[in-house]
Amino acid sequence: MPRSVLIIDAMSHRRIQMRAKLDTTAYPVDLAESLAEGLTLIRKEAPEVVILAHDLPGLRLRQFCKLMRSTPSTQGTTLVVAVQRENQSARVSALVDGAHDVIEMSAESADLRARMRSFMRLQQGSGLYLARSGAHIASGLSEPTVDFAPKTVACFVTGTLSAPMSAPDPADSGIEIRRVAAHVARREPHPDADVFVLWETQQTDEARETLAALLTHPVSQHSRILFVTDCAATGASPLDLGAHDQVPTTVSATELVLRIQRLARRRRDADRERRATTDLERKAYVDGLTGLNNRTAMEEYLARTDRALAEEPRALAVLIADIDHFKSINDNHGHSAGDMVLSRIAQIMKSSLRDGDFIARYGGEEFLIVLPDVRPGQARAVASRLRDAVAGGATAIENGTHVRATISIGIALRSRSERVSTMDLRRAADTALYEAKRNGRNRIEIAQAQSAQHGIPVASARAAF
């Protein structure tokens, strides 16, 4: 099914403005001026994302959401409602009625595109589980509740000089709220937190540094992160950096509660999915030492990716990471210590990736990573995050000894217009990795993917990260 977006809005100027803000080079964007026209397009070919104007004539959102989720072809479609700025009642009503998310009609292009990328990554990441289990995606915030739901613990993280402006009342929300300063959360994340709420109220890097720390810390790596900010985008979006949801600081307490509860349910669903992985599946597709995908899983994933790229071209990055001087770690500390270092680095890298990214143990001390729908700058940022996360940690081995290790990374990229296979990208990334090793290790090199397409040795673009 083509990855596409459908905008349904009776106001022509709003439809056109919304489409102009989206990345139409990455996916087609269709327009409909009425609910009937939109349903006709949906029945013809279900889109990945449907954006509905909250004031669309004849729209009964709750019934529309139920219709979409009761139809097999649209169960995985993300439903988004566009509202006027600061219309808090419309935002909350849309979420309660079952919308997956709410956006402002006047949202900035960068924020809107980042949110669309987040939606599509989540859909891609959930596809394997749905195909295996036949599970039903309940995308909205008003999913049916189970007979017993454990208490949700939310950890509100702020800078030393700021405080949440619209924190929900625990007595009314049923959410157990813990408040902690950012420097404490980075060092010792609360082990019981289902959701971390990060508040960015100043133009500093503190909240984003906390985001990176929580994503890589073993205590918080499976928690969900809600990023609250109004700061103008000066770099990558929090959603592209790994946040699971993002809202403005004007968010109401009611909406904040709904979003926290939704993220907590996703955390519990993800926990159940991990527990549901059978021993047979682990033996077939999981590397026993690192817990990552093994070579079999990698080859099957890349084969599926090549088939998908042939039908629907898209941007892609392949990274190959290798532990520097790994033989000396084995020689100096023993193979058991080497195994501990290998396993620790694998988990650091896995927890530093976004939902929808892929990582596998490529062989020995090498890892292969696939980043869908990324531009060169985004791929470099992910690689830099991986390298810094590994270099910043140490592995404790016997006798109180700590072993520090670094990684070198080769990157190969293809744009949406290029016809380059994953095998070509693997060769190019491997050559770029060799350059990184030759140029001093603990660094990143970027290959020219076009060279791999013709089997020519890849010339790396030096990047002294």
Q: What is the structure's pLDDT at 461?
A: 40
Stretch 103-126: mean pLDDT:
83
Stretch 249-278: mean pLDDT:
86
Q: Which of 113, 105, 104, 125 is nearest to 26 (CA)?
A: 113
Percent of the chain with pLDDT over 90: 55
d(CA 38, CA 122): 23
Stretch 224-247: mean pLDDT:
85
Is there a contact between 316 and 305 (Cβ–Cβ < 8 Å)? yes
Classify strands 407-414 and 316-323 as parallel, antiparallel or unpaired: antiparallel
d(CA 14, CA 427): 46
Stretch 443-457: mean pLDDT:
64
Averaged pLDDT of the chain: 85
- Residue 244 pLDDT > 90: yes
- 108-to-79, 105, 346, 424 alpha-carbon distances in Å: 19, 9, 36, 36
Residues 6+ apart with CB under 8 A from 75: 68, 69, 136, 137
Single-letter amino acid, residue 278:
T
d(CA 207, CA 191): 19
Helices (H), 314-421: 326-333, 335-351, 376-391
d(CA 64, CA 41): 14
Q: What is the structure's pLDDT at 161?
A: 45
Domains of the chain with CATH codes: 5-133 (3.40.50.2300), 152-276 (3.40.50.2300), 280-463 (3.30.70.270)
* Residue showing tokens 């109004």: 230
d(CA 175, CA 206): 25
Q: What is the structure's pLDDT at 131?
A: 36
pTM, rounded to two decimals: 0.59
Q: What is the structure's pLDDT at 453?
A: 53
Helices (H), 218-278: 253-276
- Residue 406 pLDDT > 90: yes
pLDDT, tens digit, for every residue of 283-328? 788 898 999 999 999 999 999 999 999 988 999 999 999 999 999 9
Does 432 or 162 have the greater pLDDT score? 432
